[in-house]
Structure 1
């Protein structure tokens, strides 16, 4: 996610210098997704009621146990329940009034039933909600799930969507459906089941890559932007339309429905880049497409090929920007003439970089948020350098990264260490400078120490090794040392403690 942008001098200054050809070899393609079979599969049928602000759904999960343990129960995050009360409602940037400018109303998920699907029929299973705000769903299995085997579950649920300008909420014309369905919790060797609450700081999500088929029914006047590729569109006699999307190796599935969308698209390197924008914001909608295309092209060249067939940049009511696989939210305020183009460009670039860091390479965003946010923040500088020249890039880096870190360090708001859990942060004042700017500073120092070509070789190797998997800080450090052939213990000490 992109934090609130500080008011910086225009970094573009009407510069139209395009950088020369890339000096290093083009990155290798990301592994074809059909070569990876060890994933869970979500098949969801959902219907949005725009008048009642509700959604009903049946979710079938073909769950794959990718850990070497027998599982007697499974856990799912039910993030919408965090929106049930003011006390648990997540609101970004410590700004409740902005998130709920229409007044607070509850949002939540009602679990109607949980069943196991067998060859001979369906069987009801026991389930329980727990955790802060009832955001954890525990499902008791009727028999143990052995390692590397599968179980089919069916979860029927209904959502009440809150009037919130957030990941999950509705506005004047839009419905944001991010983190909206029960999603399997991650089991790892470090923590076992990761059952963290929905923190108001950062992006408190952690999920394995999975395959998806999602059918979304809406009134026909609504246009839908979604993770995944549109594979079928069925108009029904009752004035509704059903759209079916499919996606492989996605860490999540989000969509935005709006009855005021215009849509434009452009293909780049076999990827359909789409810009969804309010009809009155045509100029900025075209800019969003331009910089979505440029970002996909550049990051594919230097990090590894973008692996999905579509990428959607979506204007919607949201405080800044938010990444989801193959889809990003961009704040509608950045599309208005009262803003310069800078916030729109930088936010599109930042969220696009997240397709590699969070999307392709997953990480625990609760315990190691720097692993995706720092890379996305530093990618802003790389984009500006390659697009507008080294000097412009250096000026941007100094203002947005170095000055921010220096101010936060000198005032002792942060201690300089980047690996921290969300529970260790006070608010966005220490979270932002730590996981965005301080981490980006570390990556830049690594680039200066090892050289541009070696740094990018390391990043490409890191993406290649952990594509569609989960990486840790220790994994990244190990790749750095393996590729460079250097012991980097002393280098990482100012930023990272007790790397494992």
Structure 2
């Protein structure tokens, strides 16, 4: 999803300086490493849950449509939209598989619509009934916790790990008004802008993992609360005649009975959830890309921004990411306009870009490329959060970081410019963050711990860190690491440790020295030169590069810093790049006396700066060491003088 506060665009002010658009600049990496190794002593990367990876053969089978190795829940979901009162009647048959490592006596489901509040018509979901299809019945009852947006199904006896139970759940969802939330009904028939969006709007099984147990986080005001496992879906959508619908899956059967049209969406590959959006006014454009039917659904009022361009941009994004990362295994991909307060949102086979940002582009209140950014970003989520899942609450920086890096890579490929999608350079935002806000920010933290920093940490700092890694290990190795990550966790759930392991496998070396400080420290290094002394007899300059923020962090940073030593005027006596591990003492043999030492931050050095700081640090207070013999002579004279004075006073006393 694009950055947001309450499901909305993340404000670029104060702590919320998110710079939604774009990422980085290209850095020259043709540097000479000297003085020290890039490896530093660190503690192991913050531990997390390690899930079972798939094998290369598994990836080949799964990406080609052979899912026989997957043991997943199966869901048959039928929904019927009532246009008059904006409700959706639903019936869900689920053959639920217990993926927990132990027997369970309760099954929790998310019922997020109850958390989608709006004063005119808040969202809600009413659970009409829960029944067991099996005989004898294994369902004892159910409980609804509206405040936590949870449905708990009580079982008569424990369900063993790996076993199945067949349930039927009847429900009625009320779509909220206001054009604010992920689901909703908004717009008018008069303006031909009315849209119904059904998203995360039915009971969805909670995930059990070894880190949190049951993940029952409610609908959150920031970030994405969604953390779902894969399931096989059959999806039926019934609507009034005359409505145009976009939904997850391939519409294989369409029936029309008594003015009601039913679409059957066949989804052969597993997905994490399903969604649909319907309007009487959608215009549709479609094209094929690698046997994938790509379609754009947009309102007449958005012609100026969407017509032809949106579809072309979607095709470009799909083609790039499919070739770069790995296979998109579904036959359809929809880009759909919706009403909401954020930029866009991702779902399996379907992504949303909002009417809000479309109008901003048309009115000139947003950059002309903003819609393209959202489209590229949300399509990248098909790989990061969908094909490879993650805990978006605790590790939202994982999928958002990869996705933001991806939409910037899209800009590099199609526009030859890393800064094409940047209102403010991510590098400038991160460097000046502490100066602007007076605090640090740890990336590797739950959105529940730092909700006000989610936009900055997930959408700005994390992709910047990934870009720094790319420039450190090289693009080819970086892409190989991402491909390995996708293949190992295709249709599964991954963690930050899994991503690090994938990059280490590609690089052939340990990368704790990189990941630990950049993800677990809150403050960037603030370098200063100390103890700079020039010995004219030996023509040697010695000084120490010190990180003033070292005590604020748990781990030392290691990064290359270009160092220049100047003589009189522009004369450069030394120019080289040095790996600085925390603090570093350096010595140089010079041809003449130094006047100034510079730490050059023009490249991709991540360092704390004030907003008005120049991208370098200069030091001119270089001390000159006195020659050794004169010092000894002065010392002898001084000692002699003291002895004479002492002798004199003793003589006087006697």
TM-score, structure 1 as length reference = 0.87
Counterparts of 1:243 and 1:199, CA distance in 2: 32
- Can you give the 5+ residue segments of structure 1 that lack an aligned partner in the other structure? 12-27, 84-88, 90-99
Residue 105 of structure 2: which of 46, 61, 72 is its match? Answer: 72
| Aligned-partner SS, 1:458 | helix
1:175 counterpart residue number? 196
2:133 counterpart residue number? 117
Counterparts of 2:125 and 2:428, CA distance in 1: 43
Superposition map of 1:265-414 within 5 A: 265-285=286-306, 286-319=308-341, 320-336=343-359, 337-339=362-364, 340-389=367-416, 392-394=417-419, 396=421, 399-412=424-437
Deviation of residue 433 (structure 1)? Answer: 1.1
Change (3 A) 1:10 1:186: closer
Residue 177 of structure 2: which of 163, 172, 193 is its match? Answer: 163
Residue-by-residue CA offset, 1:145-202 (whole Å, 9 max, x unaligned): 1122211111011112211322111102111111100000001111111111211101
Superposition map of 1:98-497 within 5 A: 103-118=119-134, 120=135, 125-130=140-145, 133-165=147-179, 166-172=181-187, 173-236=194-257, 238-247=258-267, 248-285=269-306, 286-319=308-341, 320-336=343-359, 337-339=362-364, 340-389=367-416, 392-394=417-419, 396=421, 399-412=424-437, 415-427=440-452, 430-497=453-520
Deviation of residue 495 (structure 1)? Answer: 2.3
Deviation of residue 480 (structure 1)? Answer: 1.5
Counterparts of 1:283 and 1:227, CA distance in 2: 26
| Aligned-partner SS, 2:370 | helix
Change (3 A) 1:344 1:396: closer
Counterparts of 2:20 and 2:108, CA distance in 1: 47
Counterparts of 2:299 and 2:387, CA distance in 1: 29
Deviation of residue 403 (structure 1)? Answer: 2.2
Change (3 A) 1:249 1:324: same
Query: Contact 1:408/1:433 (CA < 8 Å) preserved in 2?
Result: no
Counterparts of 1:124 and 1:372, CA distance in 2: 36
Deviation of residue 419 (structure 1)? Answer: 1.5
Larger Rg, first or second structure (1 or 2)? 2
| Aligned-partner SS, 1:358 | coil
Change (3 A) 1:402 1:395: farther
2:650 counterpart residue number? none
Counterparts of 1:57 and 1:9, CA distance in 2: 36
Deviation of residue 338 (structure 1)? Answer: 1.3
| Aligned-partner SS, 1:411 | helix
Deviation of residue 393 (structure 1)? Answer: 1.8
TM-score, structure 2 as length reference = 0.67
Query: Contact 1:111/1:156 (CA < 8 Å) preserved in 2?
Result: yes
Q: Which moved more, 1:246-255 or 1:331-340?
A: 331-340
Count of residues paired in the alignment: 459
2:96 counterpart residue number? 63
Deviation of residue 283 (structure 1)? Answer: 4.0
Deviation of residue 244 (structure 1)? Answer: 1.0
Counterparts of 1:148 and 1:333, CA distance in 2: 45
Deviation of residue 134 (structure 1)? Answer: 4.2
Change (3 A) 1:182 1:9: closer
Counterparts of 2:94 and 2:161, CA distance in 1: 17
Residue-by-residue CA offset, 1:85-134 (whole Å, 9 max, x unaligned): xxxx3xxxxxxxxxx5xx5322211111111111x58675401123x614
Residue 47 (structure 2) pairs with residue 32 (structure 1): no
Deviation of residue 329 (structure 1)? Answer: 1.0
- State the superposition RMSD in angstroms: 2.3
Counterparts of 2:20 and 2:63, CA distance in 1: 41
Q: Which moved more, 1:215-224 or 1:59-68?
A: 59-68
Residue-by-residue CA offset, 1:399-428 (whole Å, 9 max, x unaligned): 34212222323324662421111211243x
